[in-house]
């Protein structure tokens, strides 16, 4: 109430000989002025003439002053520039070159020079990575250097290249001369080329890294999971190994993938293509008809020759009796029937002794050659997907047990469930819903599994969503610890060495055990690198998907369609929901929830929206909406509720 009080301002002017300064972050307005926001939540006005010296997001020191009886601040010293290395669009104006940063709140045309050859080839609208070299607060002008070309303006895949550049991810496969690729074989390699191994993948999959063989022995299943022996080509500390360790993963994006390894390896020499003799690391498991993995599992090196590449669709259709397609041989028919029985028994075993979370829809973008979204489909995981998944989980579980017992360490996927504070909160929340599990029990693997077996009941859908927000994230470790989310005492993946560097590491540990060699010690830093790359891949994929959703909704008029959605979060400004048919996130502002804002109560912690103390909506509710607007700048889809 005293912010612009004239008496207070006069008192301040009496002390103007004493110069006062504040430190904070610049927040620019589109109207040509801005504010300096301090850690203490104070906000100081920056006049239009002074705001030109700084950029949105800059951390600065400013001098407090007065103008027209209003307290203002004048930027004086730059502490930290918001722009350092950034992405922007080139603009040529009267033979002068400018770079426009790719940020919603930054509209500056920054003069720039090139560190790139053949400047004449580039034109306005082309994209670059730039480095800010001069700032107005230090040099009276802004200046940048263009250090890397990203994409031409007309390139239809420009959004992909911009996003990958943003997260410092590679845009192409690794480049290496084929002469530098060598195969180092082992003397301890069994010849299993006569066995009828099969692979099951998508039709367009080229990097095939797993093959299966199953047979009945007495009352048990004998399952061999054969995985491409990628480490016979990727030698420790070689150029290929360094490349793979830096990339850490194959990046699967809508439209294409960017492999961790050169395609000559990932899609040819290491790929378990049909009728090609390939080296593998294999795991033989004896599994009872009730789905229990027996203790006499073992790992070994072998040669195999896959007899046929099968597709998820055809296998599922045949097993579910939904098409005329049929496997080419009686042997393969028999194997698929055995694999289905094994899969069902393993699912039942995991439901009883571990955890299986409810299935989620998987959304797929169907793109044209120019990167335009033709349609978006949602695919349920069918029996063939579940067969492969259960075989891989069994093999990974077996690897985790053997590594912990015979090697002593490995690259483990750990998940710690809840921390102590969260467990206490959850226990109180459960008690209110007449579920009595103590915080001490929740912190154990057994208690965690018990909790989620209760929560998977349909009537606890809202409670399940609330509790899931307390869950920790999975992490990598060299020490075996429980994986609560799967319900296992330990878990280590090794079944995708073509696509994951972490699986290459576990291959090396397993091979050292097979060959009775001393295992290679890896530095702990590699765990952080893998985790960082995993996070960047996830963020880049999500960002590109968001861009494609905006393109899809901009191109297609959905404003008259009623769309089924699920509430996933309650925010201060409204509801975040997910369109169930295509997977897009939408935002429903408070204005479209209830027209009298003062009557609307949004409980962010409990995920509830009430009007006059009556609950109107909650997280996990199914609602029906119509699209109101698509905001390209902020990449948001605005909707209003029709009914629930």
Catalytic residue, candidates 126, 499, 552, 621:
499
Report whether pLDDT(18) > 80: no
Contact in structure between 503 and 495 (CB atoms under 8 Å): yes
Instruction: Identify the CA nearest to 258 among candidates 157, 409, 326.
Output: 157
First to last CA, the chain: 43
CA distance 171 to 631: 28
User: What tens digit of pLDDT does each residue of 1-17 get?
Assistant: 444 566 656 655 555 55
User: What tens digit of pLDDT does each residue of 138-151 get?
Assistant: 988 999 999 999 99
DSSP β-ladder status, 600-603 and 574-579: unpaired
Contact in structure between 201 and 385 (CB atoms under 8 Å): no
Is 126 assigned a catalytic role? no
In the numeric block, the tokens 């299935």 are attached to: 359
Is 109 assigned a catalytic role? no
Contact in structure between 123 and 153 (CB atoms under 8 Å): yes
Contact in structure between 239 and 232 (CB atoms under 8 Å): no
CA distance 116 to 129: 11
CA distance 411 to 425: 32
Contact in structure between 433 and 414 (CB atoms under 8 Å): no
User: What tens digit of pLDDT does each residue of 266-294 get?
Assistant: 999 999 999 999 999 999 999 999 999 99
DSSP β-ladder status, 34-37 and 21-28: antiparallel
538-555: average pLDDT:
94
List, in order, residues 6 or more apart from 130 with CB less than 8 Å away: 85, 86, 87, 88, 99, 110, 112, 144, 145, 146, 147
Residue 644, pLDDT score = 62
Report whether pLDDT(513) > 50: yes
Residue 348, pLDDT score = 96
CA distance 206 to 322: 26
User: What tens digit of pLDDT does each residue of 588-613 get?
Assistant: 999 999 888 888 999 999 999 999 88
Is 201 assigned a catalytic role? yes
Residue 95, pLDDT score = 80
Residue 1, pLDDT score = 46
Instruction: Report the DSSP beta bridge partners of residue 376.
Output: 365
CA distance 192 to 302: 6
If one looks up domain 87-155 in CATH, what number appears? 2.40.50.640
CA angle 142, 143, 149 (to 5 degrees): 140
List, in order, residues 6 or more apart from 263 with CB less than 8 Å away: 173, 206
Catalytic residue, candidates 44, 312, 549, 552:
312
Between 69 and 20, name the one with better pLDDT.
20
Please tell me the least confidently modeled range out of 181-185, 218-222, 538-542: 181-185
Catalytic residue, candidates 44, 58, 189, 207:
207
User: What is the CA 314 to chain-centroid distance, rounded?
Assistant: 29
CA distance 389 to 292: 16
Q: Is the dihedral of CA 345, 348, 354, 356 positive or negative?
A: positive
* Per-domain boundaries in the chain: 6-80, 87-155, 178-413+485-543, 417-471, 557-643
Give kind and range of the element (H or E) at residue 62: strand 59-67
Contact in structure between 125 and 83 (CB atoms under 8 Å): no
Query: Per the structure block, which two tokens stand in for 86?
Result: 């950034």
- As a whole number, the mean pLDDT across the chain is 92
What letter would DSSP give residue 515?
A: T
Per-position DSSP letters for 276-307, written without gaps between them: -EEEEEEEEEEE-TTSPBPTT-EEEEEEEE--
- Please, what is the angle between helix 501-514 and helix 525-555, to 10°? 140
List, in order, residues 6 or more apart from 607 with CB less than 8 Å away: 462, 465, 466, 567, 569, 570, 618, 619
User: What tens digit of pLDDT does each residue of 298-345 get?
Assistant: 999 999 999 999 999 999 999 999 988 999 999 999 999 999 999 999
Is 140 assigned a catalytic role? no
Tell me if residue 465 falls in helix, strand or coil: helix
DSSP β-ladder status, 308-311 and 198-201: parallel
Is 58 assigned a catalytic role? no
100-112: average pLDDT:
89
In a 13 Å sphere around the CA of 93, the CA atoms on its Cβ side amount to: 10
Residue 31, pLDDT score = 74
At the top level of CATH, the class of 6-80 is mainly beta
Is 210 assigned a catalytic role? yes
Residue 8, pLDDT score = 59
Residue 613, pLDDT score = 87
Residue 117, pLDDT score = 61
Domain 557-643 adopts which CATH fold?
OB fold (Dihydrolipoamide Acetyltransferase, E2P) (2.40.50)
Residue 523, pLDDT score = 80
Between 532 and 556, name the one with better pLDDT.
532
Fold match flag (6-80 vs 557-643): yes
Catalytic residue, candidates 126, 201, 229, 503:
201
When mean pLDDT is compared over 18-27, 355-364, 621-630, the highest value belongs to 621-630
* Global confidence as pTM: 0.90
For the chain, how many residues are written?
644
Catalytic residue, candidates 58, 126, 210, 621:
210
User: What tens digit of pLDDT does each residue of 149-178 get?
Assistant: 999 999 999 999 999 999 999 999 999 888
Query: Per the structure block, which two tokens stand in for 616?
Result: 């109107």
CA distance 338 to 369: 40
Instruction: Report the DSSP beta bridge partners of residue 339.
Output: none
**Torsion angle defined by CA atoms of residues 552, 553, 555 and 558, in that order, rounded to the nearest 10 degrees:** 130
Tell me if residue 73 falls in helix, strand or coil: strand
Residue 80, pLDDT score = 95
Catalytic residue, candidates 209, 229, 401, 621:
209
506-521: average pLDDT:
91
Contact in structure between 569 and 587 (CB atoms under 8 Å): no
Instruction: Identify the CA nearest to 417 among candidates 448, 441, 438.
Output: 448
Query: Per the structure block, which two tokens stand in for 89?
Result: 């669009």
């Amino acid at each position: 109430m005293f912010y612009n009080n004239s008496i207070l301002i006069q008192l301040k002017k009496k002390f103007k000989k004493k110069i006062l300064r504040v430190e904070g972050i610049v927040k620019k307005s589109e109207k040509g002025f801005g504010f300096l926001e301090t850690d203490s939540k104070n906000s100081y006005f920056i006049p239009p003439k002074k705001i030109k010296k700084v950029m949105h997001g800059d951390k600065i020191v400013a001098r407090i002053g007065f103008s027209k009886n209003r307290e203002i601040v004048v930027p004086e010293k730059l502490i930290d520039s918001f722009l350092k290395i950034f992405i922007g669009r080139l603009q040529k104006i009267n033979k002068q070159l400018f770079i426009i940063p790719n940020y919603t709140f930054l509209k500056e045309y920054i003069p720039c020079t090139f560190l790139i050859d053949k400047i004449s080839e580039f034109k306005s609208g082309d994209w670059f990575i730039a480095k800010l070299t001069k700032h107005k607060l230090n040099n009276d002008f802004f200046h940048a250097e263009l250090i890397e070309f990203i994409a031409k303006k007309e390139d239809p895949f420009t959004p992909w290249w911009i996003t990958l550049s943003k997260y410092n991810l590679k845009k192409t496969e690794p480049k290496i001369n084929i002469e530098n690729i060598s195969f180092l074989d082992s003397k301890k390699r069994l010849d299993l080329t006569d066995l009828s191994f099969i692979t099951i993948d998508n039709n367009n999959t080229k990097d095939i890294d797993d093959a299966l063989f199953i047979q009945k022995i007495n009352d048990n299943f004998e399952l061999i999971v054969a995985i491409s022996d990628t480490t016979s080509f990727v030698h420790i500390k070689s150029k290929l190994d360094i490349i793979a360790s830096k990339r850490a993963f194959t990046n699967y994006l809508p439209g294409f993938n960017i492999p961790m390894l050169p395609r000559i390896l990932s899609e040819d020499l290491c790929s378990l293509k049909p009728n090609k003799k390939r080296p593998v690391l294999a795991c033989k498991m004896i599994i009872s008809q009730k789905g229990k993995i027996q203790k006499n599992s073992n790992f070994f090196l072998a040669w195999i020759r896959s007899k046929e590449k099968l597709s998820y669709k055809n296998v599922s259709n045949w097993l579910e009796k939904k098409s005329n397609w049929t496997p080419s041989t009686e042997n393969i028919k028999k194997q698929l029937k055995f694999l289905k029985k094994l899969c069902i028994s393993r699912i039942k075993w995991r439901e009883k002794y571990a955890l299986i979370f409810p299935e989620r829809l998987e959304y797929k973008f169907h793109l044209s050659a120019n990167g335009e979204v033709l349609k978006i489909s949602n695919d349920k995981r069918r029996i063939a997907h579940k067969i492969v998944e259960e075989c891989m989980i069994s093999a990974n579980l077996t690897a985790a047990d053997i590594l912990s017992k015979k090697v002593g360490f490995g690259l483990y996927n750990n998940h710690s469930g809840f921390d102590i504070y969260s467990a206490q909160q959850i226990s109180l929340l459960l008690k209110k819903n007449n579920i009595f599990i103590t915080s001490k029990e929740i912190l154990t693997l057994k208690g965690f599994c018990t909790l989620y077996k209760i929560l998977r009941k349909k009537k606890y859908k809202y409670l399940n969503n609330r509790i899931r927000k307390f869950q920790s994230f999975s992490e990598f470790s060299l020490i075996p610890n429980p994986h609560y989310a799967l319900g296992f005492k330990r878990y280590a993946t090794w079944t995708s060495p073509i696509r994951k560097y972490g699986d290459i590491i576990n291959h090396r540990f397993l091979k050292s055990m097979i060959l009775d060699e001393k295992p290679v010690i890896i530095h702990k830093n590699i765990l952080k690198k893998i985790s960082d790359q995993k996070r960047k891949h996830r963020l880049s994929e999500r960002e590109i998907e968001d861009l494609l959703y905006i393109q899809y909704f901009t191109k297609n008029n959905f404003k008259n369609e009623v769309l089924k959605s699920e509430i996933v979060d309650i925010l201060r400004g409204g509801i975040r929901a997910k369109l169930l048919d295509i997977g897009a996130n939408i935002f429903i502002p408070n204005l479209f929830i209830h027209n009298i804002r003062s009557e609307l109560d949004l409980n962010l912690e409990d995920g509830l929206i009430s009007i006059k103390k009556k609950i109107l909506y909650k997280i996990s509710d199914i609602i029906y909406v119509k699209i109101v607007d698509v905001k390209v700048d902020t990449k948001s889809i605005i909707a209003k509720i029709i009914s629930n």
